[in-house]
Amino acid sequence: MLRSPRALMLVATGAAIVIGGCSKPPPPKVDAATEQREATERAKQRAYGGDAVKALEQAKGMEADLNKKAIDSVEKAEKGD
């Protein structure tokens, strides 16, 4: 049996650490998609790097537009046969 006060403190401290680490972490307050949108908006407002974020979003918009035009032209070519 443990009779030393030091040994009892060691066991009690170890038990407290083990029990304290078993709890679940709190759920996130905001989902990941919302956090990403907010972070993008904050990045646009920054003085350094904001232009790069705006340019990236503009490029994504251009990509979608070009893809749409390409699909339309392919469909038009297929109908023309």
Nearest alpha carbon to residue 43 among 33, 57, 53, 29: 53
Q: What is the pLDDT, as a whole number, of residue 40?
A: 84
Q: Which helix (DSSP H) or strand (DSSP E) does residue 16 occupy? A: helix 5-20
pLDDT for position 21: 65
What pTM value is reported for the model?
A: 0.41
* pLDDT digits (tens), the chain, 81 positions: 557 788 888 888 877 777 766 667 777 787 889 998 888 888 888 877 788 888 888 998 899 999 999 999 999 999 876
20: Cβ–Cβ under 8 A, 6 or more apart, which residues? Answer: none
